[in-house]
A and B are shown apart, each in its own frame.
Chain A
Amino acid sequence: MGTYNMDLCNCIEPPWPADELLMKYQYISDFFIALAYFSIPLELIYFVKKSAVFPYRWVLVQFGAFIVLCGATHLINLWTFTMHTRTVAVVMTTAKILTAVVSCATALMLVHIIPDLLSVKTRELFLKNKAAELDREMGLIRTQEETGRHVRMLTHEIRSTLDRHTILKTTLVELGRTLGLEECALWMPTRTGLELHLSYTLRHQNPVGFTVPIQLPVINQVFNTSRAVKISPNSPVARLRPAGKYMPGEVVAVRVPLLHLSNFQIHDWPELSTKRYALMVLMLPSDSARQWHVHELELVEVVADQVAVALSHAAILEESMRARDLLMEQNVALDLARREAETAVRARNDFLAVMNHEMRTPMHAIIALSSLLQETELTPEQRLMVETILKSSNILATLINDVLDLSRLEDGSLQLEIGTFSLHSLFREALNLIKPVASVKKLYVTLSLSPDLPEYAVGDEKRLMQVVLNVVGNAVKFTKEGGISISAFVAKAESLRDPRAPDFFPIPSDNHFYLRVEVKDTGSGVNPQDTPKLFMKFVQSQPLAAKNSSGSGLGLAICKRFVNLMEGQIRIESEGLGRGSTAIFIVKLGIPGRSTESELSFIHKGPGIQAKPNFSGLKVVVVDENSVGRMVTRGLLVHLGCDVLAVASGDECIRVVTHEHKVVFLDVTLPGTESFEVAVRIHEKFAKRPDRPIIVALTGNTDRTTKENCLRVGMAGVILKPVSLDKMRSVLSDLLEHGYLVESQ
């Protein structure tokens, strides 16, 4: 459209003469082009204004300008078809120049712009792809999260109960709900382990007992892996619904390990090898064209594991509940038993308490009166009757006594009742009691008491009498002819140490003596081998004996217990059957008047084993003019562990005694009052102090005056010389414990 002819016109001189038609068409085209050129930028501006996002405004303006100018050029061209003035030409020229400039600039700019625009496009595409991808991923995450949520919820549901059935039911229900299943079933192994039994289903409330053998390949396949396995809907385990016309949905099966208590070892994880599994079968709805997705399978696997754990917990709980119930039952039973036992013991004790007195009294009356009756004039029948009465009542009396005593002895509740009694009268009474029975059998009874036997003794008179009676009674019982001789004497030191009784360690002392009683009979004797058995409870060594050898077999056992309590010893010697026997027992009795009651420890102390009180370092003073006596007393105290200062005179004693000395042994054998003055002066020396030494008198004199004098001058006690070791020991204990002698001599 450019022309070089600036003078006249802008149009190119056509090589041929201007055709009017052609000019007309040109004219119209130019017009429309101009129109278009003007309207396009307008449209652009309009739309750009409308949308605020377009980033290349500047380009648009340029473009707009370019188009406008082009349009302008073409418009102006309209006037150049005819003759036109110079102004028009100028305007035209200007327009053309501007257009040229702008279009070149635009062209140049487009070189930059178009790649940009293109890349925008690609970026847009890229972003769109990315967005799509993100969307997909978001979808995935959401599903996973949902799965997780479902699992948590399921687990929560499953674990919120400890009841087996609830667990399983809940599992199925929740799974069904979460996954939208058509059917969900659980097959449990039977007891034999050879079959699977349909235990729970989702839809059917009470599944009819389907069972399938456990060795099916499909089942093995499922059991061999911990993953959920897709199985055919036609397999026996999946055929749960009546075969319908519908296309069954996909079925998945997973194993549920049934953990046993025994599987849990302390150090290892549970062994999964010796396992029983249950089978869980899940069916998607038929005709839904749904497929099992991976995350759903994972969900199923997780749930299966959780179920296993929950079940095992439930099992453990069941176990422990059962054990606890059992224990409670046992407890109740034990308690009952204990109470019954207590009641029984109490009843027995009450019974014994009553029997003790009530039964014995009449018994003795019967026996005594019967024997008296025997002495009177009787017809033979009457005599026979009385004899029978006597025999029977004797037996009964013995039985009563034995049973009563033995039960108390066995309790350990028996304690000896110590008292002073007359030995002589004890034996005489025993003799009197046994005489009737013996005379019935025409046996003689002799009693010989040794002259050195003390008149009185300290001990349990009743029990000793029982022992004597028992032994003598026994002798009478087993003697058919001849008689019994009883002898009692004081056992001497050497006779105490009997080689036949090696466990017997009598400790002689001057407050006790050992009474030895021998009862010799001419009766049926005992086999020497049986002699130890005689003292065992309820053992009768003569099972084939005659009718009169009745008895509970308790008598000698009781005797042995009593004798042991009295720190003694009992045995029976016999040379054999038919040669008679001798019962020998030794008991420890106290000498009245010469011993303190507290020394007679009969209650369950071992013979001779006395606790050694600790006097070590105890500072004492011994005052004795007699050198021998002094040395002996000193030796005695040193042996007991004291720190002894021995002086020969009262004066020296006063000089050396200090507040550290706890006891002063003052020999007052001297006639006269010198020794007493010593005591007085010692008291004066320590008048002010609370810890003054205790003064004890040693004397060979037993008369009252000495004792009174000693006590008057404030001595703590009087000891008779010679002093034995035991005596000194107990004196020291007494002094230290009480500050005075409990019983002075």
Chain B
Amino acid sequence: MDVVKQLQRQFIDFSTSLYREGFVDDQFAQLQKLQDESNPDFVVEVVSLFFDDSEKLVKNLAVALEQQVVDYKQVDANVHQLKGSSSSIGAKRVKDVCVAFRSFCEAENHEGCLRCLHQVSHENSLLKNKLQTLFRLEQQILAAGGTVPVLE
């Protein structure tokens, strides 16, 4: 019982820190709400999908920005996609970078775009790690026989 409580405590602290640090926002909480008995791995699935998607997009962006003549429309489209995806799962920081990214695109600022790209990539990896930790904690709690606490 103690182990479970400890794990839960850890989970809560970690979750709260995620929110506090702006890694995720309300939308992530909404996603967690959608998880139920009929859909037990919803969050994990969506998040995995997001990371697949975002990694692909980042790669595309890298390729696009490496071109001699940068097709900013294409870049914008990709960033738009990424912004959409990240806001769908509540990846706040990523989304914020995307917003900045888009303005650089509009301004056709290559430097800015590159910077943003790196930032996006960085944030993506950070988020991935954080979420993986979160899911691991969840698994541990479930394995120990407890229930995953729900944050309000």
Interface residues of A (CB under 8 A from B): 493-494, 496-497, 505-508, 510, 625-629, 631-633, 635-636, 638-639, 669-671, 700, 721-725
Interface residues of B (CB under 8 A from A): 16, 19-20, 26-27, 29-31, 33-34, 36, 38-39, 42, 45-46, 49-50, 53, 77, 80-81, 83-85, 87-90, 151-152
Subset of 7 A-B contacts with CB under 8 Å: A496-B152, A497-B152, A508-B26, A628-B84, A722-B30, A722-B87, A725-B34
* Contact status of A722 and B27, CB under 8 A, knowing A631-B46, A638-B39: yes
Is B88 touching A629 in the complex (CB atoms < 8 A)? yes
Q: Which residues of chain A are within 8 angstroms of B19 by Cβ–Cβ distance?
A: 493-494
Give CA–CA (A497, B152) in the complex, Å: 7
The B interface is mostly helix, strand or loop, or mixed, namely helix
Is A505 touching B152 in the complex (CB atoms < 8 A)? yes
Q: Which residues of chain B are within 8 angstroms of A631 by Cβ–Cβ distance?
A: 45-46, 49
Q: How far is the CB of B25 from chain A (nearest CB, A)?
A: 9
Is A626 touching B49 in the complex (CB atoms < 8 A)? no
Is A629 touching B39 in the complex (CB atoms < 8 A)? no
Q: Which residues of chain A are within 8 angstroms of B90 by Cβ–Cβ distance?
A: 722
Is B88 touching A628 in the complex (CB atoms < 8 A)? yes
Give CA–CA (A438, B85) in the complex, Å: 54
Q: Which residues of chain B are within 8 angstroms of A639 by Cβ–Cβ distance?
A: 33-34, 36, 39
Q: How far is the CB of A341 from chain B (nearest CB, A)?
A: 46
| From B33, B36, B152, contact of A493 by CB (8 A) | B152
Q: How far is the CB of B133 from chain A (nearest CB, A)?
A: 19
Nearest to A497 among chain B residues (CB) is B152
Give CA–CA (A638, B42) in the complex, Å: 11
Is B80 touching A635 in the complex (CB atoms < 8 A)? no
Is A632 touching B80 in the complex (CB atoms < 8 A)? no
Q: How far is the CB of B60 from chain A (nearest CB, A)?
A: 14
Name which of B26, B34, B36, B84 has the most chain A CB atoms within 10 A of its CB. Answer: B84
Give CA–CA (A499, B44) in the complex, Å: 30
Nearest to A507 among chain B residues (CB) is B152
Q: Which residues of chain A are within 8 angstroms of B152 by Cβ–Cβ distance?
A: 493, 496-497, 505-508
Give the tally of cross-chain contacts (CB within 8 A): 82
Give CA–CA (A723, B31) in the complex, Å: 10
Is A700 touching B83 in the complex (CB atoms < 8 A)? yes
Q: How far is the CB of A623 from chain B (nearest CB, A)?
A: 13
* Contact status of A671 and B89, CB under 8 A, knowing A508-B26, A631-B45: no
Is A671 touching B49 in the complex (CB atoms < 8 A)? no
Is B53 touching A510 in the complex (CB atoms < 8 A)? no
| From A508, A628, A638, A722, contact of B53 by CB (8 A) | A628
Nearest to B30 among chain A residues (CB) is A724
Q: Which residues of chain A are within 8 angstroms of B46 by Cβ–Cβ distance?
A: 628, 631-632, 635
Nearest to B54 among chain A residues (CB) is A628
Is A632 touching B33 in the complex (CB atoms < 8 A)? no
Q: Which residues of chain B are within 8 angstroms of A506 by Cβ–Cβ distance?
A: 152
Give CA–CA (A626, B86) in the complex, Å: 10
Q: Which residues of chain A are within 8 angstroms of B49 by Cβ–Cβ distance?
A: 627-628, 631
Closest 3 pairs between A and B when the two form their complex, measured CB to CB: A628-B85, A722-B27, A639-B34
Q: Which residues of chain A are within 8 angstroms of B42 by Cβ–Cβ distance?
A: 635
Is A721 touching B38 in the complex (CB atoms < 8 A)? no
Q: Which residues of chain A are within 8 angstroms of B27 by Cβ–Cβ distance?
A: 722, 724
Give CA–CA (A510, B90) in the complex, Å: 13
Q: Which residues of chain A are within 8 angstroms of B45 by Cβ–Cβ distance?
A: 631
Give CA–CA (A671, B36) in the complex, Å: 35
Q: How far is the CB of A690 from chain B (nearest CB, A)?
A: 33
Is B88 touching A722 in the complex (CB atoms < 8 A)? yes
Q: Which residues of chain B are within 8 angstroms of A510 by Cβ–Cβ distance?
A: 26
| From A497, A635, A721, contact of B34 by CB (8 A) | A635
Give CA–CA (A724, B25) in the complex, Å: 12
Give CA–CA (A505, B29) in the complex, Å: 16
| From A494, A671, A724, contact of B80 by CB (8 A) | A671
Give CA–CA (A68, B77) in the complex, Å: 173
Give CA–CA (A638, B34) in the complex, Å: 8
Give CA–CA (A638, B35) in the complex, Å: 10
Is B88 touching A725 in the complex (CB atoms < 8 A)? no
Q: How far is the CB of B40 from chain A (nearest CB, A)?
A: 12
Nearest to A509 among chain B residues (CB) is B26
Give CA–CA (A639, B42) in the complex, Å: 10
Is B31 touching A632 in the complex (CB atoms < 8 A)? yes
Name which of A631, A632, A723, A725 has the most chain B CB atoms within 10 A of its CB. Answer: A632
Is B84 touching A700 in the complex (CB atoms < 8 A)? yes
Is B89 touching A628 in the complex (CB atoms < 8 A)? yes
Is A725 touching B16 in the complex (CB atoms < 8 A)? no
Is B30 touching A493 in the complex (CB atoms < 8 A)? no
Give CA–CA (A32, B89) in the complex, Å: 169
Q: Which residues of chain A are within 8 angstroms of B20 by Cβ–Cβ distance?
A: 494
Is B88 touching A494 in the complex (CB atoms < 8 A)? no
Is A636 touching B34 in the complex (CB atoms < 8 A)? yes
Is B39 touching A635 in the complex (CB atoms < 8 A)? yes
Q: How far is the CB of A661 from chain B (nearest CB, A)?
A: 21
| From B38, B53, B87, B151, contact of A700 by CB (8 A) | B87
Q: Which residues of chain A are within 8 angstroms of B83 by Cβ–Cβ distance?
A: 700
Q: Which residues of chain B are within 8 angstroms of A669 by Cβ–Cβ distance?
A: 80, 84
Is A626 touching B81 in the complex (CB atoms < 8 A)? yes
* Contact status of A635 and B31, CB under 8 A, knowing A497-B152, A507-B152, A628-B89: yes
* Contact status of A627 and B53, CB under 8 A, knowing A505-B152, A632-B89, A724-B26: yes
Q: How far is the CB of A356 from chain B (nearest CB, A)?
A: 39
Q: Which residues of chain B are within 8 angstroms of A627 by Cβ–Cβ distance?
A: 49, 53, 85
Q: Which residues of chain B are within 8 angstroms of A496 by Cβ–Cβ distance?
A: 152
Is A629 touching B84 in the complex (CB atoms < 8 A)? yes
Q: How far is the CB of A487 from chain B (nearest CB, A)?
A: 20
* Contact status of A493 and B151, CB under 8 A, knowing A508-B26, A700-B84: yes
Give CA–CA (A631, B85) in the complex, Å: 10
Q: Which residues of chain B are within 8 angstroms of A505 by Cβ–Cβ distance?
A: 152
Is A632 touching B36 in the complex (CB atoms < 8 A)? no
Q: How far is the CB of A710 from chain B (nearest CB, A)?
A: 17
Q: A493-B151, A631-B45, A721-B87 are in contact. List 11 more A-B contacts (CB 8 A).
A: A493-B29, A494-B19, A626-B85, A628-B89, A632-B31, A632-B88, A635-B31, A636-B34, A671-B80, A700-B84, A723-B30
Give CA–CA (A639, B27) in the complex, Å: 15
Give CA–CA (A377, B16) in the complex, Å: 58
Nearest to A629 among chain B residues (CB) is B88
Q: How far is the CB of A500 from chain B (nearest CB, A)?
A: 15
Q: How far is the CB of A673 from chain B (nearest CB, A)?
A: 15
Q: How far is the CB of B101 from chain A (nearest CB, A)?
A: 14
Give CA–CA (A708, B67) in the complex, Å: 37
Nearest to A727 among chain B residues (CB) is B30
Q: How far is the CB of B21 from chain A (nearest CB, A)?
A: 13
Give CA–CA (A505, B38) in the complex, Å: 26
Q: How far is the CB of B52 from chain A (nearest CB, A)?
A: 8
Q: How far is the CB of B134 from chain A (nearest CB, A)?
A: 16
Give CA–CA (A625, B20) in the complex, Å: 31
Q: Which residues of chain A are within 8 angstroms of B36 by Cβ–Cβ distance?
A: 639
Is A725 touching B80 in the complex (CB atoms < 8 A)? no
Q: How far is the CB of B126 from chain A (nearest CB, A)?
A: 18
Q: Which residues of chain A are within 8 angstroms of B80 by Cβ–Cβ distance?
A: 669-671
Q: Which residues of chain A are within 8 angstroms of B88 by Cβ–Cβ distance?
A: 626, 628-629, 632-633, 721-722
Name which of A496, A506, A507, A669 has the most chain B CB atoms within 10 A of its CB. Answer: A669
Give CA–CA (A510, B26) in the complex, Å: 9
Nearest to A633 among chain B residues (CB) is B88
Q: How far is the CB of A169 from chain B (nearest CB, A)?
A: 87
Q: Which residues of chain B are within 8 angstroms of A508 by Cβ–Cβ distance?
A: 26, 29, 152
